[in-house]
Amino acid sequence: MDRVTVRAFDGGGATGPVDRRKPGTKHTVMVDRAGVPLVIRTAGANASDHRQILPLILDFPRVGGVPGRLKELPDEAYADRGYDSEAARALLRWLGIEPHIAKRKTEHGSGLGKIRRVVERTISRLKGLRRLRVRYDRLGVIMGAWATLAVSVI
């Protein structure tokens, strides 16, 4: 999972201050191993990343894999330093998800970049769509609809 912040020129629903108190929106995306987006959530740009992890996990769709019961939660969660908190790690472990989250204030080179490359590629595809690169719509519902349409196109 990872997030991307976009500028919202007119403000509106689900916005918050970004750079020099300009309004913006944050899209948080969860992808599978192939880079297919499973969940996208929209929030204000000032929303904390480690607080976005639980709603993202709970929106995980029921997907089939091996024959039998459908998966209700992922097995592992890979994220960057923005999602690092002991509460988030404990919650993920309690749900049966193995967290692979880089620790803050540690040196880079943990190897997560090789795995997180797929989510970065998906975010670049999302930002390739003009309606998600810069936000022009004031209503949060419309922005959510554009995000859902973009995810279904990818």
pTM of the model as a whole: 0.78
Query: What does the pLDDT look like over 111-125, one tens digit per residue?
Result: 666 777 888 888 888
The CATH label, of 3.30.420.10, 3.40.1260.10, 3.10.20.340, 3.30.70.1070, for the domain at 2-153 is 3.30.420.10
Domains in the chain: boundaries: 2-153
Q: Round to whole Å and give the CA distance between 95 and 77.
A: 11
Q: pLDDT for 3-44, tens place per residue?
A: 887 777 766 666 777 767 777 788 888 888 888 888 888 887
Identify the burial level of 103 via C-beta atoms within 10 angstroms of its C-beta, where 0-12 means exposed, 13-18 middle and 19 or more buried: exposed
